[in-house]
Structure 1
């Protein structure tokens, strides 16, 4: 048997042996490449490694390349000239926004007659004609004349069975309740008051005066306060900050002022009375003390935090003012011009559609991620209650 093996080895051509060795080396190289690819795939599937890579990449984004520092002094001088030009452009942009404000004032005067009619219809000061009330909805196109007549008779029968309301009841309250930004401010005790809200108007500053706008909330006589109009004024600035001119991005609200609400005694919903028991340390006797403390209410909107002369605010006041500015802009730019569409909910659907178009992909990815997390037996929800020792800290 050994002789046969030796004979077989003797008959093998040396060139063939070299080929075999080369093939074996190539196969070994492919195995190593395959293992490397598998290792890379495994690493990229590791969330901790991916997070570390992402953090590293985020740190690189926006970091200076060092190119500017390496430039000769003469080139840096020219860059400074470009920056000075940019400051001049910012001042021209400020003038542009001032003219935009003038256009807003001009067109506000053109809109106002229509808003006045809207207000009169809402508060039953004007009854629109049949022609003004005619509205052809999309679904009406598919209805036959017979179906339309039947629907009209049924609608008239319903109207006969109930009282004839005046105007459009709870118009503005419904608008507020339909908009998340405003409904978050509403409390149950605010609703009876807002049923008396008849109109919201926007008034712009006069020509030549500092840029500002005022929101006017018009109320019918009620048992809660004697004011017929509550106001909120927002003062804006449309000029670059000398200390940071490149941060200019259009007019910004600098401060806002509310008004004094003349509450009827016992009707002030921005305050509440609480009773607190106090125990005397020496005698051990207990007494009940009545205190008046602030209460959550939409009407706190008319008493915003005051901005000190130095402009410095604590974090809570800054957060309140930031939200206040957002609400003021939203009422001015969206609610007042399109109130009926927020009353019916159509404007809300349009807002949602706009959001879905921009955020649909992100939402899908988030949903997939949440599904993966829920299927993971080791997954702990972010909002899970912390351990007791964490709560005590």
Structure 2
């Protein structure tokens, strides 16, 4: 299976690089539309339809009318899915409440036996190696309240690991819960990060709200693929003095031109930090914009969906290793990671999958 997928990947890249063209002089009736640049491809196909006999065009009009009816039915489907999501979220709250209490150590659950299949034992050599590598965990006291480093461990088993810098770890050890909040006034969902009292910032929780495009664009109804994230809003973090993890202070020596005396000034720079997640660019996603800020927004939207649909609902399974994400390793003979124009334009908004929900920004601010 691996060799087959590798062959398909290479074949696809080879054919795109060889056949894709934006030169209108190269377009003929024998050219496969898939290899034509997006805008020309649309005009090529529309002209092809206009060239067909009226009887065939009439059939295509009927089919497009049926497709449009299906699109409006699909929108209603997503409304029903949303209503089910709201109900499911309510039923999950008791589990989330108990999970947080266990992590914080405010509830000591009774000893119990697994109702699931226990993983097979490790290969002996691997077991010895891992136990030595993880010897530090033997220092956790037997009567420890709660689960130390729960969310950090979860993050380190996911794509979130790349966001965490060394200076972030002490602050993230105070993270006790991540919750999702839903409402009905605005099409959005809010991720809320709950922290125990700490010496890094005064906030009890930090929030990030993602806004959705729910309706059908009447100018281009056939582009509807379900609700999509269009923009997001973070929150201000009230850092304790000299504890801001998103900035760093550097010394800079200045020499006076006249007398040659030196003096030192201090300049503040933006630092890489997990907590930059709460300070996104304040802009809406535009279909025709591929600036660095928009690329960052697209990545941010994917992380939000990942947190909302996978990490938050199944956090314990990431902690225990029952869910391990696939490693994406570049093949040695892979030629390029660059995207074609068509691939870029298919990523205008982050798609809203079945488990997406709607939240009310105002409701989270009062919690």
Using the size of structure 1 for normalisation, the TM-score is 0.65
Indicate whether 1:289 and 2:265 are aligned.
yes
Q: Distance in 2 between matches of 1:314 and 1:199?
A: 34
Distance 1:177 1:265 in 2: 28
3-state SS of the aligned residue for 1:272? strand
How far off its partner does 1:57 sit?
A: 4.9
SS at match of 2:323: helix
1:71 alignment partner in structure 2: 52
Which of 167, 176, 179 is the equivalent residue of 1:189? 167
Match of 1:91 among 52, 60, 72: 72
Match of residue 231 from structure 1 = 207
Greater alpha carbon shift after TM alignment, 123-132 vs 299-308: 123-132
Deviations along 1:111-138, one digit per CA (max 9) or x if unpaired, are: 1101111111111111111236776625
Counterpart position of 1:137: 118
CA distance in 2, matches of 1:340, 1:62: 47
Contact 1:270 / 1:296 at 8 angstroms: preserved in 2? yes
Q: Say yes or no: does 1:104 pair with 2:85.
A: yes
Distance 1:182 1:279, change over 3 A: same
The yes-or-no answer on 1:249 pairing with 2:220 is no
Gaps of 5+ in 1: 1-50, 141-157, 371-380, 384-393
- Alignment equivalent of 2:147, drawn from 164, 168, 180: 168
Correspondence for 1:62: 33
* 8 Å CA contact retained: 1:221, 1:228: yes
State the 1:247 CA deviation: 2.0
Q: What RMSD in Å do the two structures reach over aligned CA positions? A: 3.4
Mapping 1:1-393, distance limit 5 Å: 55-57=17-19, 60-62=31-33, 64=44, 67-73=48-54, 75-76=56-57, 79-80=60-61, 82-131=63-112, 137-139=118-120, 162-179=141-158, 181-206=159-184, 209-280=185-256, 285-307=261-283, 315-348=291-324, 351-352=325-326
Question: How far is the alpha carbon of 1:308 from its aligned partner?
Answer: 5.8
The 1:309/1:56 distance shift into structure 2, 3 A limit, reads closer
Structure-2 separation of matches of 1:322 and 1:276: 36
SS in 1 for 2:100: helix
Q: Give the secondary structure class of the aligned counterpart of 1:131.
A: coil
**In structure 1, what is the Cα distance between the partners aligned to 2:140 and 2:206?**
38
Give the structure, 1 or 2, with the largest relative contact order (CA under 8 Å, sep 6 or more). Answer: 2
8 Å CA contact 1:214, 1:231 repeated in 2: yes
Judged with a 3 Å threshold, the aligned counterparts in structure 2 of structure 1 residues 193 and 74 are, in CA distance, closer, same or farther, namely same
Which protein is richer in helix relative to its size?
A: 1
Deviates more, 1:196-205 or 1:125-134: 125-134
Unmatched segments (≥5 aa) in structure 2: 1-12, 22-30, 35-43, 122-136, 338-367
More displaced 10-residue stretch of structure 1: 70-79 or 182-191: 70-79
Match of 1:22 in 2: none
Give the drift of 1:316: 1.3
Deviation at 1:283, TM superposition (A): 5.8
Per-residue deviation at 1:95? 2.1
1-structure distance, mates of 2:275, 2:141: 33
Q: Give the secondary-structure state (helix, strand or coil) at the position aligned to 1:173.
A: helix
Pair member with larger Rg: 1
- For these two proteins, the number of residue pairs brought into alignment is 291
Output the CA distance in 1 between the equivalents of 2:238 and 2:269.
18
Q: 1:56 to 1:221 in 2, by over 3 A?
A: closer
Q: Provide the rounded CA distance (Å) in 2 between the counterparts of 1:267 and 1:183.
A: 22
Whether the 8 Å CA contact 1:231–1:258 is kept in 2: the answer is: yes
1:98 and 1:238 in contact (8 A); partners too: no
Counterpart secondary structure, 1:346: coil
